[in-house]
Amino acid sequence: MQSKCFFYEKHNLRWAGMAIGLIVSFAAMAAEAPIDRHALVTRNNVTLTQPDPLTPLSVGNGEFAFTADITGLQSFPAFHENGMPLGTQSQWAWHTSPHSNPPALSEAFENYQVAGREVPYASGQNPTGGYSPAAAWLRANPHRLDLGRLGLSLKKGNGDDAQITDLADTRQQLDLWNGQITSQFQIEGRPVRVQTVCHPQRDLLAVRIESPLIADNRLSLFLRFPYGSEVWRNAADWEKPDRHTTSLRVNENQALFTRILDDDRYYVNMAWSEGGSISLRAPHHYELRGQGDRLEIVIAFSPSDVFDPLPDFSTVQATASAHWRQFWSTGAAIDFSACSDPRADELERRVVLSQYLTAIQCAGTRPPQETGLVCNSWHGKFHLEMHWWHAVHFALWDRLPLLERSLPWYQSILPAAKETARIQGFRGARWPKMTDPDGRESPSNVGVFLIWQQPHPIYYAECAYRSHPTSQSLERYRDIVFETAEFMASYPVWEEANQRYVLGPALIPAQESYGRDRARNLNPTFELAYWQWGLSVAQEWRKRLGMSPHPQWEQVRTRLAKPTVLNGVYTGIETPPYTITRDHPSMVAAWGFLPLTPMIDPAVMKRTYDHILADWDWPSTWGWDYPMLAMTAARLGEPEKAVNALFMETPKNRYLANGHNYQSARLPLYLPGNGGLLTAVAMMTAGWDNAPDRLTPGFPDNGQWRIRWEGLKPMP
């Protein structure tokens, strides 16, 4: 049998032993009835009985998402301004603000001394502080665009506009099994019922509204279009109506909107039930009125004016239901219902909702942004160091195609990544950190110095190969693996005095607290282990393809500097200040996120872990830190600590009623936390290469975690 171990043949026997143990475990589980997936999913449906600015609900498909308030639409956006915004976004929808002479990235370059030569980095610093005008524009452009706001216009009996406080008997449910939001409420005793559903393959929303208020002309639908926004959260600018145009063509009960924003344009096709009529209320503001007590609409968004025929509401509803039933019925599942630990129900809720949220927000053809398709953190750009946290879990949950949807994007930007490496004097491909669809690095005084995203594509490719160990998998990803490894082998600096390769300077580790010392930082613990692991896997790919080991890769892999140990624990970096006890405690990722490598001493890592638990500034940590800690604790043989890490009482480990991982007012949702949770729980449940030979090795063996699971893949 070909070794499933990533890089050391001596682990083959351990892997074989684990495989036998897993076969026994699977046999024991097979004796039980299959998990009732419908019951598992539906008992975790989201039900809201009052408006909450932090808990809007979303429907989507990975490429497109629509976020709704308590009415099932976007009727009261002001209520959510200081909570979680109401967005309508797509992977293709971006806007660029006009510029008389758009700056080149080179205008943001600043040279750093590395091994006696000058290396340009797009740090974009202004000598007087902050970013230069060129860097500021490049950071903000292009930015994601809000495609439009769709909501209810509600009138009270006296003709006044109804406010959100006028809604009574509110009840809203996200039906996970069918992918539908159903919202019910009353206005002065008159009922309103709204069903909201997204097509699983198209940027298309379908809505059914039922209410006697329609016939009374007290309920209509509004559709508004904004300009693009460069601000932090909101992808919509409603204050510049003269900067964009909207044109409308109506044919009976169907309308085609053409939207032009500077050099960008898109199209909106909307159809409604018989008897409805549409009118212009103000620039970019349209009203749709219906007849009787039901109004149905279907609305599609596209970068081109060529649309497939619009289905009706019932067709979209049935298509979405079939899609979500298939989603939940396949892939992996974990059932915590037989557990007696009081935290088990909440863990199951987080796990089920995180599966839904990452499927609609993180499973597109491009890497997602941290706030998905809801709001515009970092101007809507995505961060490649976060892609691991967003999407690796798909492979472990036997949903590899949802990870692989985004991997061709790396191939598409490979020329740009190779050009970045060339400009800096390196070989191979240097992947950007903060970027947009074209793969151009965004200027940053932090992001351009990060390197921990570099081995990620090798990890994704290895996940794909482990699921499908074929020559086709090897050929599909070989360029990505080899060009990544080529950069990784050319980036370290040979230090003659100590006969070793070092990482840095001009480097900031995953723990970004060391940013001010970027010109001097050397050898972060996690990055050293990840570098060695990535080059080892790349060499294994050469072997699988019948190629001999690459000499330079091997020299760097075997002669990398070792992590620094002070007072018996790993430091963050090798150079002063060594360890800052805030932000990500990323040194633990060197054995947790990663399997054990020769870089890491388990005894030192155990002391490091306990030292971090005792001394770290937890309010400064982030949502993926707790799954990271859980994975390390599991590998250390400390399952109780692993569970405790998942439930750490700290502000950014908060999971809202809608399942989102809340960080702060600036980041009301944070999808790396959701994805990291799914990765950690899968690993703790199904195990990892060379894990202890027992069921659920990452959970305590105390009789309180009687977990049933199906379909999970062991983690590397």
Q: Which of 498, 520, 474, 463 is nearest to 689 (CA)?
A: 463
**Residue-level length of the chain:** 716
Judged against a pLDDT cut of 70, whether residue 3 lies above it is answered with no
Strands of 232-376 (E only): list them. 236-237, 244-251, 254-261, 264-272, 277-282, 285-289, 294-302, 333-335
Which residue in the block uniquely carries the two structure tokens 């239901």? Answer: 321
Q: Is the pLDDT of residue 159 over 60?
A: yes
- Token pair belonging to 705: 């975690």
Q: Is residue 248 part of a domain?
A: yes
Q: How far apart are CA 210 and CA 270, in angstroms?
A: 19
pLDDT confidence band for 129 (50 / 70 / 90) = confident
Q: Which of 584, 74, 70, 660 is closest to 372 using CA atoms?
A: 660
Residue-wise pLDDT tens digits, 403-425 = 999 999 999 999 999 999 999 99
Separation between Cα atoms, residue 418 and residue 424, nearest integer Å: 10
Residue 485 tokens, joined = 């490894």
Give the other-Cβ count within 10 Å of 572's Cβ: 27
Q: Report which of residues 128 and 441 the model is more confident about.
A: 441
DSSP class of residue 131 equals: B
Predicted confidence (pLDDT) at residue 29 exceeds the cutoff of 60: no
Cα distance between residue 329 and residue 75, in whole Å: 34
Better-predicted residue by pLDDT, 20 or 398: 398
Whether residue 244 is contained in a domain is answered as yes
- Other Cβ atoms less than 10 A from the Cβ of 4: the count is 17
Residue in the structure block whose two tokens are 């996120």: 593
Residue % of the chain over a pLDDT of 90: 94
> 92 to each of 65, 142, 286, 539, how far by Cα in Å?
12, 11, 24, 36
C-alpha span between 595 and 589 (Å, rounded): 9
Residue ranges of E strands in 451-499: 493-495
pLDDT higher than 50, residue 22: no
Task: Lay out the sheet containing 294-302: strands in order across.
Answer: 46-48, 167-175, 180-187, 190-198, 204-210, 294-302, 264-272, 254-261, 244-251
Contact between residue 573 and residue 523 where contact means Cβ atoms under 8 Å apart: yes
Residue 338 CB coordination number (10 Å): 10
Give 125's pLDDT tier (boundaries 50, 70, 90): confident
Contacts 24+ apart (CB under 8 A), 257-265: 257/225, 258/305, 259/225, 261/95, 261/145, 261/227, 261/228, 262/95, 262/96, 262/97, 262/98, 263/96, 263/98, 264/94, 264/95, 264/96, 264/145, 264/228, 265/303
Do the beta carbons of residue 507 and residue 525 sit within 8 Å?
A: no
Q: Hey, what are 204's tokens?
A: 């298309």
Nearest to 459 by CA among 534, 381, 540, 359: 534
- DSSP H or E stretch at residue 357: helix 344-361
For the residues 94-108, what does the mean pLDDT come to? 97
- Whether 243 maps to a domain, the answer reads yes
pLDDT per residue as tens digits for the range 321-374? 999 999 999 999 999 999 999 999 999 999 999 999 999 999 999 999 999 999
Could you tell me if residue 65 is inside a domain? yes
Overall average pLDDT of the 160-185 stretch: 98
Report d(CA 254, CA 248) in Å as an integer: 10
pLDDT higher for 386 or 30? 386
Whether 25 shows a pLDDT value over 60: the answer reads no
- 3-state SS, 506-564, equals CCECCCHHHHHHCCCCCCCHHHHHHHHHHHHHHHHHHHHCCCCCCHHHHHHHHCECCCC
The confidence band for 461, taking pLDDT boundaries of 50, 70 and 90, is very high
pLDDT at 593: 98
468 contacts: CB under 8 Å, gap ≥ 6: 400
Q: Is the dihedral of CA 75, 78, 80, 85 positive or negative?
A: positive
Report pLDDT for 62.
Answer: 98
The token pair that represents 654 in the structure block: 């908060």
Q: Which domain holds residue 192?
A: 59-95+142-321
Q: Output DSSP code: residue 309.
A: P
- Distance, CA of 635 to CA of 333 (rounded, Å): 22
First to last CA, the chain: 17
Tokens for 473, please give them: 């998998």
Summarised one tens digit per residue, pLDDT across range 203-232 is 999 999 999 999 999 999 999 999 999 999
CA distance 129 to 699: 49
Residue 214 lies in a domain: yes
Tokens of 327: 């989603």
How far is Cα 260 from Cα 244, in angstroms, rounded to an integer? 6
Q: Give yes or no for a contact between 472 and 544, defined as CB atoms under 8 angstroms apart.
A: no
Q: What is the pLDDT of residue 128?
A: 80
The verdict on residue 66 lying in a domain is yes
Question: Domain containing 304 — which CATH number?
Answer: 2.70.98.50
Q: What is the pLDDT of residue 707?
A: 98
Token pair for 115? 């091994």
| Torsion angles phi and psi, residue 25, rounded to 5 | -60, -45
Q: What is the mean pLDDT of the chain?
A: 95
Residue in this structure with the two tokens 């091994």, named with its chain if needed: 115
For residue 19, is pLDDT > 60?
no
* pLDDT value of position 10: 33
In this predicted structure, what is the pLDDT of residue 126?
Answer: 85
pLDDT digits (tens, 9 = 90+) for 242-299: 999 999 999 999 999 999 999 999 999 999 999 999 999 999 999 999 999 999 999 9
Residue 282: Cβ within 10 Å count: 10
Question: What average pLDDT does the segment 635-643 reach?
Answer: 98
Give yes or no for a contact between 393 and 383, defined as CB atoms under 8 angstroms apart.
Answer: no
Cis geometry, peptide bond prior to residue 524 (ω within 30 degrees of 0): no
Which residues lie closer than 8 Å to 660 by C-beta, 6 or more apart? 84, 357, 668, 669, 670, 671, 674
Please tell me the distance from the alpha carbon of residue 467 to that of residue 396, in angstroms, as a whole number: 9
State the Cα–Cα distance between residues 36 and 345, nearest whole angstrom.
16
d(CA 391, CA 367): 9
Domains of the chain: total:
1
State the Cα–Cα distance between residues 509 and 68, nearest whole angstrom.
Answer: 38
Q: Is the pTM of this model over 0.75?
A: yes
pLDDT band at 27 (very low <50, low <70, confident <90, very high): very low
What are the C-alpha distances in Å from 329 to residues 32, 326, 696, 709?
17, 5, 22, 13
The answer to the question of residue 155 being in a domain is yes
Euclidean distance between CA atoms 596 and 611, whole angstroms: 20
Token digits for 390? 């967003």
Decide if 151 is inside a domain.
yes
Mean pLDDT over 119-129 rounds to 90
Q: Which residue has the higher pLDDT, 653 or 127?
A: 653
Residues 583-621 have pLDDT tens digits of: 999 999 999 999 999 999 999 999 999 999 999 999 999
Structure tokens that stand for 216 in this block: 């009374």
